[in-house]
Chains A and B, each alone.
Chain A
């Protein structure tokens, strides 16, 4: 794990060194790159805000808990422990939320338990799809990106089923 900490500084160092050797104007280029960041963030912000407001409302309404309860028989049929149903549902919505849930599961069942291992796989597989779609398709003029989102959700769910199966085998 320690070695990982060296990767990033080395990468930046290498880029700046090579750029200097090639007589690139490092300072101007760096500033020019940042200039592009401002409109990007500004164009993303409204969509992220709308998404987070909605998910906060959804959690507060108790609907997410109800949905969780309704889906747990379906999950256990597919070999997903019902204890982690909440994590499976939160995962596509919020990265920090699913990290919080994962810690709760570890604290309750232990990191090495079957449930803990399944939860690890659910947490590590796939991105927070709704968040990613808000960011990647923000301000898109083309048709609604519902289809790509569904594709991502379906394939990540398939991965969760396979991952839980693997946890039982290994």
Chain B
């Protein structure tokens, strides 16, 4: 990642020097401003979701969810720890129901808990499953299609679902192949 960052940075700088050197600093500052806005939005979203998540946790509701999904998650991620599995369960189900706001905080804290796992298999798997982003109802897409006068906004769902499953299957397969042996 460090190398990738450096390469893209150097190439972009070089291209910008030839094109329009005056645009350099404004471009950097625009990125930083976006980050600040995003960070503030994050703080708000995380406060709400981690707050309610803790209430659900103390009421043993996430335990129930994790218990229901355990046969699936413990096999897929090769993890035993109950609380970690709870966070993973919340992350997966929130993603599926299109509540990205709830999914990310749970996913990030699960990633933190998985740091100790050897080989990085569980982290790679969680990242792959999240990246595929399988969603029951892609709300933003349907809203946009409606807005731009699609005759039937929903008829896009079969191809979207098929493609999502391809991404999920490919991701899981690749993680298994690459990390599978080391993870044990």
Binding site for B on A (CB under 8 A): 1, 4, 7-8, 12, 15-16, 18-19, 22, 24-26, 29-34, 36-38, 40-41, 44-45, 48-63, 66, 99, 102-103, 106-107, 110-112, 116-117, 120-121, 123-127, 129, 132-133, 135-138, 140-149, 151-152, 154-156, 158-160, 162-163, 166-167, 170
Contacts A33-B51, A61-B12, A110-B148: A4 and B30 contacting too (C-beta < 8 A)?
no
Interfacial residues, chain B to chain A (CB-CB below 8 A)? 1-5, 8-9, 11-13, 15-16, 19-20, 23-24, 26-28, 30-32, 34-36, 38-39, 42-43, 46-47, 50-61, 97, 99, 104-105, 107-109, 111, 115, 120, 123-124, 126-128, 130-133, 135, 137-145, 147-151, 153, 155-156, 158-160, 162-164, 166-171, 174-175, 178
Q: Contacts A45-B35, A52-B32: A34 and B27 contacting too (C-beta < 8 A)?
A: no
Q: Among the listed A38, A54, A107, A159, which residue makes an inter-chain contact with B167, where contact means beta carbons less than 8 Å apart?
A: A159
A29-B55 in contact (CB<8A): yes
Contact A1 B123 (CB under 8 A): no
Given contacts A144-B1, A146-B4, A19 and B28 within 8 Å (CB-CB)? no
A25 vs B58: C-alpha distance in the bound complex, in angstroms?
8
B176 to chain A, nearest CB (A): 10
Cβ of B148 and Cβ of A163 under 8 Å apart? no
Q: Are A151 and B178 in contact (CB under 8 A)?
A: yes
Q: How far is the CA of A32 from the CA of B13 in the complex (A)?
A: 44
CB atoms of B8 and A58 under 8 A apart: yes
User: For the complex, what is the distance from the CA of A66 to the CA of B138, rounded to whole Å?
Assistant: 31
Among B55, B131, B148, which residue has its beta carbon within 8 angstroms of that of A126? Answer: B131
With A61-B19, A166-B162 in contact, is A45–B39 under 8 Å at CB? yes
- Whether A54 pairs with B34 at a CB distance below 8 angstroms is no
Tell which of B20, B60, B147, B150 has the most Cβ of chain A within 10 Å. B150
Task: Check B108–A158 contact: CB distance below 8 A.
Answer: no
A68 CB, nearest partner CB in chain B, Å? 14
Sample 17 A-B pairs with CB under 8 A, ordered by A number: A36-B109, A49-B35, A49-B39, A52-B32, A55-B31, A61-B12, A63-B15, A111-B144, A123-B144, A127-B131, A145-B127, A149-B1, A151-B171, A152-B171, A155-B170, A159-B166, A162-B166
Given contacts A125-B164, A156-B132, contact A142 B115 (CB under 8 A): yes
Q: Which residue of A lies closest to B162 (CB)?
A: A166
CA distance A147 to B105 in the complex (A): 23
Tell me whether B61 and A33 are in contact (CB under 8 A): no
* A144, B2: Cβ atoms closer than 8 Å: yes
CB pair A112–B54 under 8 Å, yes or no, is no
Q: For A19, list chain B residues within 8 Å (CB).
A: 55-56, 58-59, 61
Chain A residues near B123 (CB-CB < 8 A): 136-137, 145, 148
Q: Are A40 and B108 in contact (CB under 8 A)?
A: yes
